[in-house]
Structure 1
């Protein structure tokens, strides 16, 4: 019988054992599959999910008290992208807050500066 693969696909070491073996151990198999996956272009779903998680982390970091006002340039400098949000809420004054899970933001111009008003979701908002 002929061996299909002579050396490990990841590290190149000679293989022992079954004739159809491709990797010398589970660690090499995992490392090789990880390397292949990293070379693939990012999928749309992953891109959106990663940005939503980043947005949530940034909003949470800057809104520890439940309400805060932060310059837009500060959040955007951290990687925040306001085009990615999960839902919205409109208050009685007609302001539309965009939410990333439980953290919301409202774009506002104050004293010539672009700012975000940050809030946390409350029960009365339902």
Structure 2
């Protein structure tokens, strides 16, 4: 039976210990995983998720104090709060004239060039358990 030497995936030094061990110590494991997660794709996904969460938070902060499910607001006020209209999680078109854009359970639709209707989604969820 031939035994092959195992080497650390991070520093390529020999590994001693369990047969399924991949790294010589925790610092090598952390270094390797940080390198694997530190690329453009994960940074881009992280940035998009941050924008989506910010959009959701802005809509939530508008609706929560009013205890209402919808409110008309100036588009400029959303932009000043840091809202990005190009980032959504869902698009819903209940009829030919209405287009709703959602950031998770909060959404909006344009009323005109200056105003939008912000809403909290009250539709039944398709994937609810």
- TM-score (ref. length: structure 1): 0.60
CA gap of 1:88–1:125, structure 2 versus 1, over 3 A, is farther
Distance 1:61 1:100 in 2: 13
Q: Deviations over 1:18-45 (max 9, x none)?
A: xxxxxxxxxxxxxxxxxxxxxx988111
Q: 1:90 aligns with which of 82, 88, 93?
A: 93
What is the CA distance between 1:124 and its match in structure 2?
A: 5.0
- 8 Å contact kept, 1:89–1:125: no
User: What is aligned with 2:107?
Assistant: 104
User: What is aligned with 1:115?
Assistant: 115
User: What is aligned with 1:47?
Assistant: 47
User: What is aligned with 2:79?
Assistant: 76
SS across alignment from 2:52: helix
User: What is aligned with 1:25?
Assistant: none
RMSD between superposed Cα atoms in Å: 2.7
Where structure 2 has 5 or more consecutive residues not aligned to the other structure, the ranges are 1-38
SS across alignment from 1:123: coil
Where structure 1 has 5 or more consecutive residues not aligned to the other structure, the ranges are 1-39
SS across alignment from 1:81: coil
CA gap of 1:70–1:125, structure 2 versus 1, over 3 A, is farther
Distance 2:125 2:91 in 1: 10
Distance 1:92 1:124 in 2: 17
What is the CA distance between 1:82 and its match in structure 2?
A: 0.7
Distance 2:122 2:95 in 1: 15
* 1:67 aligns to 2:70 (yes or no): yes
Aligned residues: 87
